């Protein structure tokens, strides 16, 4: 299975912003925050199409997301909108500032056709079982 090293960025998108005001348990918020945007060339390298499922791994964790095509050229970068799914791959170390490093992390993206994006409840269930 091909895999790709990217620089991971997280941030606001307008759809995520609308989603959080509609409701964070809404379908629109789920759709907006469970994606990773990749450059078309990177999608090609991974041999996947927009909408395919991928696993994103950093030193801090792993999360299953939908790959989407970035609207503008951003080769070598993966962008995940802010939300509980993005936070699965963000570290808790704040460098004594209070602020976790949420942008510019090293990440690996791997196609995961046999996996599914977890719902919010499933995500919490996984966290609870990992804590035990």
Shortest Cβ 35–another protein spacing (Å)? 14
Residues 6+ apart with CB under 8 A from 59: 91, 105, 106
- The distance of closest approach from Cβ of residue 115 to another protein in the complex, given in angstroms and rounded to an integer, is 17
Q: Following DSSP, what letter does each residue of 70-128 receive, concatenated?
A: -SS--TTEEEEESSTTGGGGS-S--TTTT----EEEEEEEEE-TT--PPPHHHHHHHHH
Residues lying near another protein in the complex (CB under 8 A)? 7, 9-14, 16-18, 20-26, 60-61, 70-74, 77, 79, 82-84, 87-88, 90-104, 120-121, 124-125, 127-128, 130-131
Nearer to another protein, 46 or 85 (CB): 85
Closest distance of CB 7 from another protein, Å: 5
């Amino acid at each position: 299975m091909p895999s790709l090293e990217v620089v991971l960025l997280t941030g606001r998108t307008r759809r995520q912003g609308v989603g959080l005001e509609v409701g964070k348990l809404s379908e629109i918020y789920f759709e907006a925050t469970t994606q990773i945007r990749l450059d078309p060339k990177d999608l090609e390298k991974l041999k996947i199409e927009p909408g395919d499922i991928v696993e994103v791994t950093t030193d801090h964790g792993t999360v299953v997301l939908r790959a989407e095509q970035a609207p503008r050229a951003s080769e070598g970068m993966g962008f995940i909108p802010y939300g509980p799914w993005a936070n699965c791959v963000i570290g808790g170390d704040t460098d004594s500032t209070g602020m976790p490093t949420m942008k510019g992390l090293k990440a690996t993206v791997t196609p995961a056709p046999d996996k599914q994006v977890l719902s919010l409840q499933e995500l919490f269930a996984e966290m609870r079982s990992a804590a035990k």
